[in-house]
Amino acid sequence: MSDIKPFRVVHYLNQFYAGKGGEAFANTSPYKIDGSVGPGRLLEQTSKGKLKIAGTVVCGDNYFVENSSAIKQIIELIKSYQPEAFIAGPAFLAGRYGEACVEICCAVKERLDIPVITGLAPEHPAVDRYRKDLPILRTGTTGADMKNSIPRMGEILFKLLQGIKLSSSEQNLIYKRGLKKNAILEKNAARRAVAMLITKHRGENWQSELPMPKNDLVTPAPAIKEKSFTLALITDGGLILKGNPERMPSGRSDRYCKINIDSWEKLTPEKVEVNHFGYDNRYVLADPNRLVPLDIIKTLEKRGDIRLHPVIYSTAGAATAIENAASFGRGIASELKKAGVQAVILTST
């Protein structure tokens, strides 16, 4: 491949993967670096001369989500390299970083009309919202999967540039985009539908050609009419006792913890802290009442408006499996029901 000119690619990274730093640098405004950085070097190495990172564009996670001008700034930086393709991330399960990757890919695709690709873990909420619009590689949940995901992204991006059809194995690495393909069947839709109806009427096994998604439906509880009622506080923002005696994980939680607040007037950094990898928690560490408003609730209790349950229930919701979350809900609900709790305020990030 040494006699073939490599394609010019621009790579987008957040402040962490660009080597700038962690959450302390999450407000970094967009800037560019000529050539490859971090994961981009691995991309060049594994592409074996087919792809060349002309430049790397970097933006802090907080800056991107808090500034509406970030997209425009980033696009201008990308355009300055006159790229033939664009790659973002991969972001794995990182919330703000993943949102930035998919939004920038959409903007590049629309405004520059060049091939794009990014990578996210299956649990990332952006997958379902953007998989129809973008090629998104299925990755692991952490940067430990970088050595696998970056070469795959590079190979797929190269084929997109060449107009080469992806192999079956490569197509399986990309989230299904919901695109419909025409197929000619022996029986038309009307005959198949009637046959299906008859089979169902006979009580025989049948299978729909269009399986419907199953969603949980929860009937809202009736409004509380009495003036004074018992209220409990719950959070998935990673609130823990100082020192984390219950060993609560910062994400992918397998448990929830209970914090006794019976004698407390408010939450203080001396008593509690935060363990959660999904958001910038500096402001909550400075004042934990920003996450769980115990100070305000105590004021309402003194006025006689409510009775406060003496325990805060807490977990870290980032990347937590739905099955675990449902189990937490059942366990907490059972305890609250026994305690006569009538309402809950659940705060998130």
* Cα–Cα distance, 6 to 40 (Å, whole number): 14
pLDDT by residue (tens digit) across 214-238? Answer: 667 888 888 888 888 999 999 999 9
Q: What is the pTM assigned to this prediction?
A: 0.65
Q: What confidence score (pLDDT) does residue 1 get?
A: 45
Give the pairing type, strands 272-274 and 136-138. unpaired
Mean pLDDT of all residues in the chain? 91
Listed by start position, the domains of the chain span 7-173, 229-347
The CATH architecture one would assign to domain 7-173 is 3-Layer(aba) Sandwich (3.40)
pLDDT by residue (tens digit) across 26-58? Answer: 999 999 999 999 999 999 999 999 999 999 999
Work out the pLDDT band at 3, boundaries 50, 70, 90: low
Compute how many other C-beta atoms are within 10 angstroms of the C-beta atom of residue 24.
12
* Cα–Cα distance, 240 to 257 (Å, whole number): 7
* Cα–Cα distance, 329 to 320 (Å, whole number): 13
Note whether 278 and 95 are within 8 A (CB). Answer: yes
Note whether 55 and 30 are within 8 A (CB). Answer: no
CA atoms within 13 A on the CB side of 235: 22
pLDDT by residue (tens digit) across 59-104? Answer: 999 999 889 899 999 999 999 999 999 999 999 988 889 999 999 9
| The two structure tokens encoding residue 250 | 């910062």
Q: What is the mean pLDDT of residues 189-197?
A: 91
Burial class (CB in 10 A: 0-12, 13-18, 19+), 135: buried
Q: What confidence score (pLDDT) does residue 22 get?
A: 85
Q: What is the mean pLDDT of residues 164-173?
A: 87
Q: How far is CA 175 from CA 85, 123, 125, 169, 290, in A?
A: 20, 12, 13, 12, 37
Residues β-bridged to residue 312: 233, 259
Q: What is the DSSP code string of 4-59?
A: SPPEEEEEEEETTTTTS-SGGGTTPPPEEEES--THHHHHHHHHTTSEEEEEEEEE
